[in-house]
Amino acid sequence: MRKYRSGSSGILDAGTVVQILVFLLGLWGVLTIASSQSASPTALLIGKQLGALVGGMAVMLAAARIPFDFYRRQIWVLALLFFLPLLILPLAGVRVNGMCGWFRIGSFSLQPTEPAKGIFLLTLVVTMTSLRSENLRFWGALAVAGIWLVPIFLQPDFGTSAIYLAGFAAVYFLAGGRVRNLLIFCTGAAAAAALFVWSHPYAWRRITGLFQPELDPLGSGWHVRQFELAIARGQFFGEKLGHAVWSNAYLPLSYNDSAFATMAETLGFFGTLPVYLGFALLIASLVVLANRFDLEFDARLYILSAAALIGIQSLVHISVNLCLLPPTGLTLPLISYGGSSLIGCCLMLGIALSAARCHRSY
Q: Over the stretch 136-187, which tens digit does the pLDDT of each residue have?
A: 899 999 999 999 999 998 888 888 999 999 999 999 999 988 999 999 999 9
Whether 281 shows a pLDDT value over 90: the answer reads yes
> Using CA of residue 319, residue 325, residue 327, residue 330, what is the dihedral sign?
negative
Report, in angstroms and rounded to the nearest whole number, the Rg of the chain calculated over CA atoms.
Answer: 20
Whether 344 shows a pLDDT value over 50: the answer reads yes
pLDDT at site 242: 66
pLDDT band for 92, please (50, 70, 90 cuts): confident
Amino acid at 324: L
pLDDT band for 236, please (50, 70, 90 cuts): confident
- The closest of 72, 104, 62, 70 to 85, measured between CA atoms, is 104
Whether 313 shows a pLDDT value over 60: the answer reads yes
Whether 1 shows a pLDDT value over 50: the answer reads no
Whether 78 shows a pLDDT value over 90: the answer reads yes
Whether 355 shows a pLDDT value over 60: the answer reads yes
Rounded-to-integer distance, Cα 183 and Cα 185, Å: 5
Rounded-to-integer distance, Cα 226 and Cα 209, Å: 12
- Minimum mean pLDDT among 77-86, 206-215, 252-261: which range? 206-215
Report in angstroms the alpha-carbon separations of 297 from 2, 11, 238, 301, 304.
11, 16, 45, 6, 11
Rounded-to-integer distance, Cα 341 and Cα 109, Å: 11
Whether 134 shows a pLDDT value over 80: the answer reads yes
Q: What percent of the chain has pLDDT over 70?
A: 92
Q: What is the mean pLDDT of residues 289-310?
A: 92
pLDDT band for 62, please (50, 70, 90 cuts): very high
